[in-house]
């Protein structure tokens, strides 16, 4: 249901009823401050209220009530997933509904995390720090980024953010893309196959969406094609990497280090080999974290609210057939 509401800018907005599919008072406050045209109700509201819902804001995970919610919202026009990916979201249930997500909102912090891992690897941090007098001062065997080759699997918002930062360090940047096109980031070289990419790179970053096609994309056969001493970084989804195949390559040192922010399963159970392997740098799926990150993810939705209201194209549209 839409009704006009007068605003301080003396123009009329159309009130849209939004169903919020989670409990988050802070997000409700941000929505009320930034989108007064939204009438916010909870997804558990009575059916008489939900029947006029036009927009649904939901997390990717925890949408187990989606079938019931869609049935209760016959006038629903648009679903926004408050996350940067939809691999945990039941797309098969939404039919022809428009679905968007906050794609790209976490690209900057994730790219910074990737560069931090690369720098730690090359500069041997924290191992090169000292807490007592060393055997010798002024002597080290540290690496550098200048002249090294970075390989990117995935060249969306995250891949492009990583590329820009790597180029500033005078790295060579290669990206594997599905179809050849002009690179949106000057200085990045596109390749069309893993066979072209893998033998050339010193640091390999997985930054592409998890789809059925991409599951197990990097396994034993692909790792065998990489340079000895490669540094593998996964900030996308654990399903892209065959963890069991990775172990012997870590044990032999062929993969010198694996910086993993995503693993399978999550949470990883106590005693798992990934916790204790000396060549694994493990973090608990936090590469996205940054000051104000919730506001940044919500900002994509708010921008889309303004676009939706005037009939403009929405950002972050999900391709249901492709799965992202």
C-alpha–C-alpha distance, residues 308 and 324, integer Å: 20
Q: Quick one: which H or E segment has residue 55?
A: strand 55-58
Q: Count CB-CB contacts under 10 A for residue 257.
A: 21
Q: Is 232 helix (H, G, I), strand (E, B) or coil?
A: strand
C-alpha–C-alpha distance, residues 108 and 118, integer Å: 15
Whether the CA torsion 125, 127, 131, 136 is positive or negative: it is negative
Instruction: Tell me the C-alpha to C-alpha distance, in Å, between residue 297 and each of 64, 89, 134, 187, 290.
Output: 22, 17, 46, 29, 11
* Best CA proximity match to 14, nearest among 315, 266, 305, 219: 305
Instruction: Tell me the C-alpha to C-alpha distance, in Å, between residue 152 and each of 173, 217, 238, 313.
Output: 8, 13, 16, 29
Residues 6+ apart with CB under 8 A from 298: 27, 30, 31, 82, 102
The catalytic residues are 237, 266, 285
In degrees to the nearest 10, what's the CA dihedral of 297, 301, 303, 309? Answer: -170
What is the residue whose two structure tokens read 């940044």? 296
C-alpha–C-alpha distance, residues 259 and 111, integer Å: 13
Residue 189 sits at φ, ψ, to 5 deg, of: -100, 130
């Amino acid at each position: 249901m839409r009704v006009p509401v007068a605003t301080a800018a003396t123009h009329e907005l159309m009130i849209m009823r939004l169903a919020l599919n989670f409990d988050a008072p802070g997000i409700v406050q941000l929505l009320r401050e930034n989108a007064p045209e939204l009438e916010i109700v909870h997804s558990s509201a009575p059916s008489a209220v939900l029947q006029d819902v036009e927009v649904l804001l939901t997390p990717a995970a925890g949408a187990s009530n989606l079938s019931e919610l869609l049935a209760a919202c016959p006038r629903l026009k648009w679903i926004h997933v408050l996350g940067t990916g939809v691999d945990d979201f039941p797309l098969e249930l939404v039919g022809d509904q428009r679905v968007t997500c906050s794609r790209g909102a976490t690209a900057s912090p994730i790219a910074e995390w990737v560069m931090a891992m690369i720098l730690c690897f090359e500069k041997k941090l924290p191992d090169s720090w000292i807490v007592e007098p060393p055997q010798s001062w002024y002597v080290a065997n540290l690496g550098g980024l200048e002249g090294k080759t970075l390989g990117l699997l995935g060249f969306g918002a995250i891949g492009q953010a990583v590329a820009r930062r790597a180029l500033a360090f005078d790295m060579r940047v290669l990206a594997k893309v599905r179809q050849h096109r002009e690179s949106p980031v000057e200085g990045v070289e596109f390749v069309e196959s893993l066979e072209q990419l893998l033998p050339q790179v010193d640091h390999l970053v997985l930054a592409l969406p998890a789809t059925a096609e991409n599951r197990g994309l990097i396994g034993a056969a692909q790792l065998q094609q990489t340079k000895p001493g490669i540094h593998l970084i996964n900030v996308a989804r654990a399903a892209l990497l065959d963890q069991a195949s990775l172990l012997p390559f870590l044990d032999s040192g062929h993969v010198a280090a694996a910086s993993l922010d995503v693993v399978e399963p999550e949470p990883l159970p106590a005693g798992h080999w990934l916790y204790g392997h000396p060549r694994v740098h493990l973090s608990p799926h936090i590469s996205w974290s940054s000051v104000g990150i919730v506001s940044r993810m919500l900002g994509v939705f708010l921008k889309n609210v303004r676009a939706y209201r005037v009939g403009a194209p929405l950002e972050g549209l999900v391709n249901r057939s492709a799965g992202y």
